[in-house]
């Protein structure tokens, strides 16, 4: 019985040894060849930041937010040109084109400013006004596929919906 306990403790120690952070070579990441390089964020380049700030500014104007769009543009371009001054003419052109395109597209949408969109615009605008010019996360599109509604909670019962809701089924 004593040998069984010793073997059990030894087996458990060896099997759980790979779960700790003290031995980086003996972990689950090493089993599958963990990637040592950090992934490159391709959505945070100067052109993407420029288009996001310009679009947010145009949307905020459409929804009636009280801010100075020229000051936001100048602060953004000054921040971006500090890193690479040679890109300033290109970024100015991208900013103006993005701002004008979004502004013209929103003219024909009188019901654009829903509560959800204004909350997202307010969050992005406050970030940009504070000097954080990282692009906003992409909007999550509705998934109308066969299993798209599973796992979502709904305010109504599943009898009125098209299809089953997994959370309603588990209740």
104-121 residue pLDDT tens: 999 999 899 999 999 999
Q: Is pLDDT larger for residue 130 or for residue 143?
A: 130
pLDDT digits (tens, 9 = 90+) for 53-64: 999 999 999 999
How many angstroms from the chain centroid is the CA of residue 145?
22
20 pLDDT above the threshold of 60: no
Residue 167: pLDDT over 60? no
Q: What's the CA dihedral at 66, 71, 77, 78 to 10 degrees?
A: -140
Using alpha carbons only, what angle is made at residue 142 by residues 140 and 146, rounded to the nearest 5 degrees?
130
What pLDDT sits at residue 157?
Answer: 46
Highest-scoring range by mean pLDDT, 2-6, 42-46, 94-98: 94-98
Confidence at 171, pLDDT banded by 50, 70, 90:
very low
């Amino acid at each position: 019985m004593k040998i069984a306990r010793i073997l059990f403790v030894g087996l458990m120690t060896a099997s759980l040894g790979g779960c700790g952070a003290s031995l980086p070579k003996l972990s689950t990441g090493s089993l599958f060849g963990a990637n040592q390089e950090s992934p490159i964020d391709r959505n945070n380049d100067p052109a993407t930041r420029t288009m996001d700030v310009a679009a947010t500014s145009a949307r905020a104007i459409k929804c009636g937010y009280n801010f100075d769009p020229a000051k936001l543009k100048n602060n953004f371009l000054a921040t971006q040109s500090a890193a690479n001054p040679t890109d300033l003419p290109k970024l100015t052109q991208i900013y103006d084109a993005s701002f004008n395109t979004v502004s013209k597209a929103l003219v024909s949408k009188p019901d654009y400013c829903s509560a959800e969109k204004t909350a997202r615009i307010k969050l992005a605008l406050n970030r940009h006004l504070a000097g954080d010019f990282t692009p906003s996360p992409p909007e999550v599109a509705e998934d109308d596929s066969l299993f798209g509604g599973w796992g979502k909670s709904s305010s109504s019962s599943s009898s009125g919906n098209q299809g089953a809701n997994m959370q309603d089924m588990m209740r």
